[in-house]
Amino acid sequence: NDHEVKEKFEVRGWAHVSKDLDLVTVTKALLESVTSQTTTAGDLNILQVQLQQSLSNKKFLLVLDDIWYGRYVGWNSMNDIFNVGEMGSKIIITTRDERVALPMQTFLYVHRLRCLETEDSWSLLAKHALVPNNYQQRSNLENIGKEIAKKCDGLPLAAVALGGLLRTKLSQDYWSDVLKSSIWELTNDEVQPALLLSYRYLPSPLKGCFAYCSIFPKNSILMKKMVVQLWIAEGLIPQPKSEKSWEKVAEEYFDELVLRSLIRQRSIDDIDDNEVDDEEVCFEMHDLINDLAMIVSSPYCIRLDEQKPHYRVRHLSYNRGHFDSYDKFDKLYGLKGLRTFLPLPLQKISSSSCYVSEKLIFDLLQHMKQLRALSLSSYRNITELPNSIGNLKYLRYLNLSDTNIERLPSETCKLYNLQTLLLSNCSHLTKLPKDMGKLVNLRHLDIRGTRLKEIPVQLSQLENLQTLSNFVVSKHDIGLKIADLGKYSHLQGKLSISRLQNVTNLSHASQANLEMKKQIDELELRWVNINVPSYSQIQSDVFEQLRPQSSLKSLRIVGYGGNNFPTWFGGSSFGNMVHLDIWYCEYCSWLPPLGQLGNLKKLIIGQMKSVKSIGPEFYGSDSPLFQPFPLLETLKFCSMPQWEEWKLTGGTSTMFPRLTRLSLRHCPKLNLNIPLGQLGNLKELTIEGMKSLKTLGTEFYGSSSSPLLQPFPSLETLEFRQMEEWEEWKLIGGTTIEFPSLKLLSLSECPKLKGNIPGNLPSLTRLSLYKCPKFKGNIPGSLPSLASLSLEYCTDLKGMTPNNLPSLSNLVIEECPLLMDSRHLDDNSNIIITRPSSDVFSQLMICINSLQKMYLINIPSLTSFPRDGLPKTLQSLTIQDCENLEFLPRESLHNYKSLENLSIHSSCNSMTSFTLGSLPVLKTLNIRNCKNLKSILIVEDVLQHNLLFLRSLNIWSCDELESVSLCGFPIPNLIDLRLGWCKKLRSLPEPMNLLASLREMSICNLPNLQSFSIDDFPISLQEMRVGIVGGILWNTTWERLTSLSLFQIWGDDILKPVMKMEVPLLPVSLVTLLIFDVEDIGCLHGMWLQHLTSLKTLEFSCCCNLKSLPKEGLPSSLKELFIYKCPLLKASLLGKRGKEWRKVAHIPTIVIDHELIT
């Protein structure tokens, strides 16, 4: 995630590979890393195809980290995937075993990391063990320390871990004891002795906490708060002897493990923004430390995906799947001593929904009566819990976050030992049990993201609560009132108080005693606007009483209905505040003195409908000696419909000395002639929806009287969006460079903008114009750093006169009809053709010597390419909706020795044939809806070497296409062939066996296709999709296709012959069978499925009349059955007692219309 890496590689993927993982897991990990999405696919071929598509035509960097055994890599099957990227793509492999690296030397450079020298090991050890600048201490321990460093065998992690151990006692005796330890004599291939020493010298309670972390797989994100809660629930934290809380002691234990380098803080760049809460610090364990934890925790802690459970297991985790059927858990019967049941990952899953068997919830869990910690988070099909939940008397931790649970049974209130109840993002939960007060040990209740309208009044008895994420103020006696908040003196962390409109008694508001809650550092105050004027003064008085403690770090105000902010708001006494949000305070006409918040770094203000002017009152003082907002870095204003004036006394540089991000969005009346150019540290500026702006004047840049002023010296990103009335952008002119550091300039949806854009932008790398139909100005001719230029829906853009675009690599032109037009109108509105359109294109292409990708979309005026052709550096060309464009002449194609990807969609109507092999290194060819294309062929004079590169051939919706002919030439590396919706196509490429590497083939909606023989299909074929074709010669040679693992059938015409054959046709290698859009078949009779002993996944979709499965049953190997939009079959199965259910009862995972049945 390094910045330079992101710039050089479009796609980046990281897969951690352990010694127990197979190729499926590696491919899945890479795919999820590349796409940032969770995938539910489990079939290797499907995963490989998806990964290949994600990498295709992109420059990628892949890291396969910590490979143990070469056989798991499966390079032969991965080569085709890795070869689809652009030139310059890289793969990095790390391994501890040289035997893995050596076989790869033929195609990958091997870099051997040398061990540290003794002196370097000692330096690293001392850094973690000794107090900086204490030279006397260092000299006393240096000799012993160097001897210890020698035993680290040059391993940095060993030195770091030992440093964490030795820092606990800086005495010669203790260090000598470590040096002489018998553990150094142990020989263990799985863990280094130095790491064992780190564990041996841990205090006893810390040993248990460390060992417990073995239930988290390698590369897991560890969230400190959640780990601490689990430790406490499992009884790993001893009774505090002082006034410290359990949580405080556990946090100290966690910090001690961090100090000892047994847990480390995770890099921010390695964390997906969707995985964790904002600003939450995350941690992880090094792989070798994780191995150590696994050894010392055995046999009590296991990961279900990696180890078999046994009677001694106490703590169990597993990786949550898309569909977790009961088959996954039935081996847990008899584990009566189980204390932890934990699906992973700990953090929320945002990319997909997960489902779990109801049998687990309603049957198995009630037998686990020793459970201390139970999580069912992120299972979307959980809507209720059984009443038997109340029998888990020892339960201390219950996590139901991100489920669809609608209610908690009253028996939940019998869980008297419960300490932590997590219900965040349970958006269907509207009510809690009334007897919640019986949970006398409850310390953490997280109800963020629920729809609770009130909290049971009995909860006021739980005065030891430390977490109450959302305090819902009730207006009824059955719920908590604001005064009850005062009883919770131990609350800490984040607190949201909602439905504050229900507070009408000022004394009750003061009794909330927020000012004394010293451990609350993030506070949200939320009202629901009820639009009753008489309530305005009440809300003002209530807000005055809700003064928080002065060390608050974050405050968010939403929906406040008063006319004025309280006197304490924004005062300098809140010196620790770094983040402030103010939203929907519609009746306040002025802002509080927020400039006095000396440590404020982020300020967001939105939906303030009554504010007309922002001036000195906002800054806190107009004294020249006062510095407002000294540390503010981010400032955003959004949806301020009446805001007209922004007074900047002394200039923006005085008011905002550290500001780096400024956003002004939907403030339609604001006069934008503000000297924003004086913001010397500003890096990002977004201006959106400013309807009053017609002319952006020179005042925008700052003082025009000083020629020495450099406006916007640091600005890197400038975006204008939805500027409906903006017509003119006035430039400074002369020798001044308006934006010397600007890298991205984007103008989007500015319908009246006509003028030019700044012409001297030496640092600009990306320029985008989108939906600026009146823009007629020139694109600057000299942009030496410009790498990406996008011109979309600029209908009046007439010309470009570039003379120096040496860095341009990506060009997009879409619906700019006049840009390539060779015509103009004379005084009598007559069309005059002044020059060929190819000359216009030539002028555009001139001096573009580095172009790699070009997209030409919806340019009907474009009739031909430049006479001299396109830049020879071009790697990818997409032509779409350019029906009048004549494609490049065949005799010139051999010059394009970098062009790897070509897509022609609804374009080039004059093209009647396309010759494969004419482009020397073409990898991917996509042709769609080319009206007059009749043939795709290989001519006799083609260089066969040119055919070696072609990997993917996709032809769709070409109504006149009659033939795809290989003319006897092999295309040995073609992987993917897709032909569809070509009404006149008579035959497939023949002979098919010339496609020796073909892995995926799709042929659909080819009604004129003559019968073809499966005999010709290459044995390499792994996936085949067939539907609505003329005729297929079904024969008995399917056994040749020993690699075919996925077969998809569309329509009755394909399925009926398969079922009728006396000898089963489908190859026994099939793993996945998909049957779609079958309308006339009601019963799947016959023996055509029984022989499929490798079949794992069977899916029926849109089979409207299908109501019964084969009476002979389904293969016993089946693991997954998916049924979508098959109403009759669904009705037959859901009874679960009829003969249809008996046919599928052996299948572990059955999903009907996205509902997990088993």
Closest CA to 657 of 634, 629, 684, 636: 629
pLDDT at site 886: 93
pLDDT band per the 50, 70, 90 thresholds, residue 86: confident
Residue 506 has pLDDT above 60, yes or no: yes
For range 252-272, the mean pLDDT: 78
Evaluate whether 1157 touches 381 at the Cβ level (below 8 Å): no
C-alpha triplet 377, 381, 385: angle, nearest 5°? 70
Give all strands (DSSP E) within 863-923, no chain letters: 876-880, 901-905, 913-915
pLDDT at site 648: 78
- The 8 Å CB, 24+ separation contacts for 325-329 are 325/357, 325/1148, 325/1149, 325/1150, 325/1156, 325/1158, 326/357, 326/359, 326/360, 326/364, 326/1148, 326/1158, 327/1119, 327/1148, 327/1149, 327/1158, 328/304, 328/357, 328/1148, 329/357, 329/360, 329/364
**What rounded mean pLDDT belongs to the chain?**
85
* Nearest-10 Cα torsion for 288, 290, 291, 294: 170
pLDDT band per the 50, 70, 90 thresholds, residue 805: confident
Assign 827 to helix, strand or coil.
coil
Residue 37 has pLDDT above 60, yes or no: yes
Residue-wise pLDDT for 526-583, tens only, equals 998 776 666 788 999 999 999 999 999 999 999 999 999 999 988 778 989 999 999 9
How far apart (Å, rounded) are the C-alpha atoms in residues 1142 and 655?
Answer: 75
Query: Which residues are CB-contacts of 915 (< 8 A; sequence separation ≥ 6)?
Result: 890, 893, 936, 937, 938, 939, 942
Query: Quick check: is 317 in a domain?
Result: yes
Residue type, 254: F
Query: Quick check: is 759 in a domain?
Result: no
Q: Which range has the worst mean pLDDT, 486-500, 731-745, 911-925? A: 731-745
Cα dihedral 135, 138, 142, 144 sign: positive
For range 800-810, the mean pLDDT: 77
The full DSSP string for 682-751 is --EEEEE--TT-SEE-GGGGS-SS-TT--SSSS--EEEEE--TT--EE----TT--S-TT--EEEEES-T
Q: What is the pTM of this model?
A: 0.85
- The 8 Å CB, 24+ separation contacts for 1148-1151 are 1148/325, 1148/326, 1148/327, 1148/328, 1148/1119, 1148/1120, 1149/323, 1149/325, 1149/327, 1149/1119, 1149/1120, 1149/1121, 1150/325, 1150/1120, 1150/1121, 1150/1123, 1151/323, 1151/355, 1151/1120, 1151/1121, 1151/1122, 1151/1123
Query: Quick check: is 209 in a domain?
Result: yes
> Can you give the three-state secondary structure of 1071-1101, one letter per residue?
CEEEEECCCCCCECCCCCCCCCCCCCEEEEE
Residue-wise pLDDT for 832-859, tens only, equals 444 455 566 776 777 688 899 999 999 9
Evaluate whether 162 touches 197 at the Cβ level (below 8 Å): yes
Residue 325 has pLDDT above 70, yes or no: yes
Query: Quick check: is 253 in a domain?
Result: yes
Residue 315 belongs to domain with CATH number:
3.80.10.10
Query: Which residues are CB-contacts of 1097 (< 8 A; sequence separation ≥ 6)?
Result: 42, 43, 1071, 1072, 1073, 1118, 1119, 1120, 1121, 1122
Q: Which range has the worst mean pLDDT, 132-136, 213-217, 448-452, 823-827? A: 823-827
Query: Which residues are CB-contacts of 257 (< 8 A; sequence separation ≥ 6)?
Result: 206, 209, 210, 263
Cβ burial of 447 (10 Å; 0-12, 13-18, 19+) is buried
13/77 same-domain check:
yes
158/258 same-domain check:
no
Q: How far is CA 887 from CA 289, 490, 844, 929, 963, in A?
A: 60, 74, 18, 15, 20
For range 286-300, the mean pLDDT: 87
How far apart (Å, rounded) are the C-alpha atoms in residues 218 and 223?
Answer: 14
> Can you give the three-state secondary structure of 2-27, one letter per residue?
CHHHHHHCCEEEEEECCCCCCHHHHH
Residue 653 has pLDDT above 70, yes or no: no
How far apart (Å, rounded) are the C-alpha atoms in residues 695 and 764?
Answer: 23
Q: Which range has the worst mean pLDDT, 78-82, 721-725, 802-806, 920-924? A: 78-82
How far apart (Å, rounded) are the C-alpha atoms in residues 456 and 438?
Answer: 11
Last residue of a domain, one of 169, 201, 233: 201
DSSP-based helix, strand, coil % in the chain, nearest 5: 25, 20, 55
Q: How far is CA 727 from CA 677, 696, 791, in A?
A: 20, 8, 18
Q: Which range has the worst mean pLDDT, 18-22, 40-44, 171-175, 385-389? A: 18-22
Give the rounded percent of residues in the chain with a pLDDT score beyond 70: 88
Give how many domains the chain has, as a whole number.
Answer: 4
- The 8 Å CB, 24+ separation contacts for 1024-1031 are 1024/1000, 1024/1048, 1025/1001, 1025/1050, 1026/1002, 1026/1050, 1026/1054, 1027/1003, 1027/1051, 1027/1054, 1027/1076, 1027/1077, 1028/1004, 1028/1053, 1028/1054, 1029/1003, 1029/1004, 1029/1005, 1029/1053, 1029/1054, 1030/1006
Query: Quick check: is 9 in a domain?
Result: yes
Q: Is pLDDT larger for residue 755 or for residue 708?
A: 755
Give all strands (DSSP E) within 18-80, no chain letters: 60-67
182/270 same-domain check:
no
Cα dihedral 115, 117, 120, 122 sign: positive
Q: Which residues pair with 665 in a beta bridge?
A: 638, 688
- Max alpha carbon distance in the chain (Å)? 103
218/312 same-domain check:
no
Assign 197 to helix, strand or coil.
helix
357/371 same-domain check:
yes
For range 184-201, the mean pLDDT: 69
* Nearest-10 Cα torsion for 979, 981, 982, 984: 130
Query: Quick check: is 270 in a domain?
Result: yes
Residue 55 has pLDDT above 80, yes or no: yes
Residue 416 has pLDDT above 90, yes or no: yes
Query: Quick check: is 403 in a domain?
Result: yes
Q: Which two tokens stand for residue 928?
A: 């769609």
Q: Which range has the worst mean pLDDT, 266-280, 795-809, 1084-1098? A: 266-280
Residue 154 has pLDDT above 50, yes or no: yes
pLDDT at site 103: 62
Residue-wise pLDDT for 960-991, tens only, equals 999 998 887 888 889 999 999 999 998 888 77
For range 399-416, the mean pLDDT: 95
pLDDT band per the 50, 70, 90 thresholds, residue 831: very low
306/390 same-domain check:
yes
Domain hosting 9: range is 3-106
Residue 258 belongs to domain with CATH number:
1.10.10.10
Q: How far apart are the first and last CA of the chain?
A: 41
392/314 same-domain check:
yes
Q: Which two tokens stand for residue 614?
A: 């922002």
For range 858-882, the mean pLDDT: 90
45/62 same-domain check:
yes
pLDDT at site 183: 66
How far apart (Å, rounded) are the C-alpha atoms in residues 991 and 993?
Answer: 5
How far apart (Å, rounded) are the C-alpha atoms in residues 575 and 517?
Answer: 17
Last residue of a domain, one of 370, 398, 429: 429
284/225 same-domain check:
yes
Q: How far is CA 561 from CA 496, 526, 591, in A?
A: 17, 10, 14
Q: Which two tokens stand for residue 955?
A: 């032809």
Residue 470 has pLDDT above 90, yes or no: yes
Looking at mean pLDDT, say which of 34-38, 178-182, 400-404 comes out highest: 400-404
pLDDT band per the 50, 70, 90 thresholds, residue 276: very low
Q: Which residue has the tokens 């291939």?
A: 189
pLDDT at site 1057: 79
Element (H, E) at 1121: strand 1120-1124
329/240 same-domain check:
no
Query: Quick check: is 1030 in a domain?
Result: no
How far apart (Å, rounded) are the C-alpha atoms in residues 474 and 500?
Answer: 9
How far apart (Å, rounded) are the C-alpha atoms in residues 605 and 612?
Answer: 14
Q: Which two tokens stand for residue 219?
A: 């590369």
Residue 826 has pLDDT above 60, yes or no: no
293/318 same-domain check:
no
Last residue of a domain, one of 269, 298, 327: 298
How far apart (Å, rounded) are the C-alpha atoms in residues 745 and 261?
Answer: 45
For range 648-655, the mean pLDDT: 65
For range 1042-1067, the mean pLDDT: 84
Evaluate whether 931 touches 909 at the Cβ level (below 8 Å): yes
Q: Is pLDDT larger for residue 979 or for residue 735?
A: 979
How far apart (Å, rounded) are the C-alpha atoms in residues 415 and 418?
Answer: 5
Evaluate whether 957 touches 982 at the Cβ level (below 8 Å): yes
Looking at mean pLDDT, say which of 30-44, 96-110, 597-611 comes out highest: 597-611
pLDDT band per the 50, 70, 90 thresholds, residue 517: very high
Q: Which residue has the tokens 């689990």?
A: 230
Assign 1112 to helix, strand or coil.
coil
Q: Which two tokens stand for residue 589?
A: 């006409």
Q: Is pLDDT larger for residue 755 or for residue 652?
A: 755
Residue 1014 has pLDDT above 80, yes or no: no
pLDDT at site 675: 87
For range 1097-1105, the mean pLDDT: 94
245/340 same-domain check:
no
pLDDT at site 705: 47
For range 739-757, the mean pLDDT: 91
How far apart (Å, rounded) are the C-alpha atoms in residues 563 and 540?
Answer: 7
Residue type, 280: E
